[in-house]
Structure 1
C-alpha cells in the first residue's frame, strides 16, 4: 500500500518539468484556412518529428443524462472535413453517441507541446464503410474485435487469451469475416483549436469556428 501523503504527491507534481526541449514555432499568420488542412500539416510535422503515436486521440462523450466519459482510440482518417475513428457498437462511446451526438476529440503531442481540440457532432458513416474499415485492420486487430465483448464481466485473463486465440484461428480460416457490430464513426467539428505551448507560458491558441459562410479563425488568450 502506498504511504504517499498529499504533500508528497504535491511536491512530486511540482518537481516535474513541462515544455522541455526544443519546441516548434507557430506563427498564427501561417495558419491554414481550414482546420482539416491545419490538422494534416501538424500531424505530418508530428510524425516527421518522431512523436510517438500521433494518431492517438482522446474521445470524450456524454450520455443522455450528461455523464461524461473519455477514452483514447486511434484516428483512422480525416476526409471531407470529418475526423474518423471506429469501435464496437456495443461500446459505451457508441451508446453515448446514440443518446447525445455531441462529442470532442483532443490530441496532445508532448514532444512538441501541441494540442488540437475539436468539438462537434458525431455520426455513423455506414455499414459498407464500416466493413471496409474492419477488413483494413491487421489480423491481430480483427481477432481482438471478434473475440471481445466490450464492457461485459471477464472471468480471467486466461479466458480473454483463449478467446483471442480462437478468433485468430477464425481470421486465418475466414479472412473476409467482418464483425457485424464494427462501426465507423466521424466527428464533424464546428469548432477547432490549435494550441502551441511556450516555455515562458505565452502559449499560442488559434480557434476556428464554423459559420454560415465557412470557417473563421482568430487568436484567443491562453
Structure 2
C-alpha cells in the first residue's frame, strides 16, 4: 500500500473503504430462541459448520492480570457441557495460565464473519482435574505435545536454535514414553454467567440476545443494537 505523505489518512481511507457484512446474512428469530444458551450455541455452531465457516471453534480468550490489565489471544474451544461451561486447554505456566491464577475470570468471543455472527461468553474460569488435562494432552498431535513439553510458552526466545534443540529433546521424550504428559498442562472451564448472541444486520439494526444466569436459572433479554 502506498501511504504517500499522510500515512494515517491513507490508512483511515483504506479501513473505511473495506466492506462490512457484504454477504447474505442469516436471520435470527429471538422469539423462537431456546431458553438455554447452550442449545442456541450448538444450533449456531452447527449452522456455521454446515455453511463452511473456517475454524468456527476458534475463539478469543480475554484474561486480566492482578493489576486488572487485560490481554487476549485466539485459541480452540475444546468442549461445552450442558451446564454452560466452555472448555479450553493451555499450560498453567503460560501468561494466560498465570493471569487466570491471579484473576480467575475470563471472557470468550466467537466471530463468524461469513454469517455476521458473534457469541460472547463471560464467567468464572476453573481448572479441571488432572485426568482431564492428561486426556486432552495425549489427544494432541505429536508436534503439539512436543511444543507443550518444552515448558517455555510465552518466555523470551533469544536464539531460534534453542527452540529447535528443545523440540528435538521433547520429541525424543515422546518416542521414549508415548504416555508422557506435560505436568502443567491444564484444561480450564469457563462457567458462563452471561452469554450474548449477536446477529449482524446491514442497516446496523443488529439483533442481540443476552442470557444471564442467576440462582441456577437463565433469563433472556433483547438488547439495543
Structure 2 length as normaliser, TM-score?
0.93
Displacement of 1:158 = 3.2
* Equivalent in the alignment of 1:33: 35
- Contact 1:24–1:112 (8 Å) recurs in 2: yes
Residue 202 (1) aligns with residue 205 (2): yes
Q: In the aligned structure 2, how far is the partner of 1:81 from the partner of 1:31?
A: 16
> Which deviates more from structure 2 when the two are superposed, residues 140-149 or residues 189-198?
140-149
Structure 1 runs (4+) greater than 6 angstroms displaced: none
Instruction: After TM superposition, list the pairs within 5 Å mapping 1:140-151 onto structure 2.
Output: 140-151=143-154
Matched, 1:136 2:104: no
**1:184 to 1:213, Cα distance in 2 relative to 1, 3 A:** closer
Is the 1:148–1:163 Cα contact (8 Å) retained in structure 2?
no
The structural deviation recorded for 1:159 is 2.6
Offset at residue 110 of structure 1 (A): 0.9
Structure 2 unaligned spans of 5+: none
* Number of the residue aligned with 2:165: 162
CA deviations 1:158-209 (Å, max 9, x no partner) are 3323322332232233210100010110100111000000111111000001
Counterpart check, 1:56 vs 2:58:
yes
Structure 2 equivalent of residue 188 of structure 1: 191
Q: Give, in angstroms, the shift of residue 138 of structure 1.
A: 1.6
Q: Secondary structure at the match of 1:111?
A: coil
1:127 and 2:130 are equivalent in the alignment: yes
1:56-115 Cα deviation digits (max 9, x unpaired): 111101111111111111111001320000100111111111111121000101111100
Instruction: State the distance in 2 between where 1:148 and 1:129 align.
Output: 19
Please give the secondary structure, in 2, of the residue aligned with 1:176: coil
Is 1:89 the counterpart of 2:105? The answer is: no
Matches within 5 A, 1:111-122: 111-122=114-125
Contact 1:206 1:219 in 2 (8 A): yes
8 A Cα contact 2:92 2:184, kept in partner: yes
Query: Where do 1:3-82 residues align within 5 Å?
Result: 5-79=7-81, 80-82=83-85
Shift of 1:34: 1.1
Alignment gaps of 5+ in structure 1: none
Please report the TM-score for the alignment, with normalisation by the length of structure 1. 0.95
What do the CA deviations read for 1:17-72 (whole angstroms, capped 9, x no partner)? 01011111111122121111111111111111111111111110111111111111
On the 8 A contact 2:151/2:182 being kept in 1, the answer is no
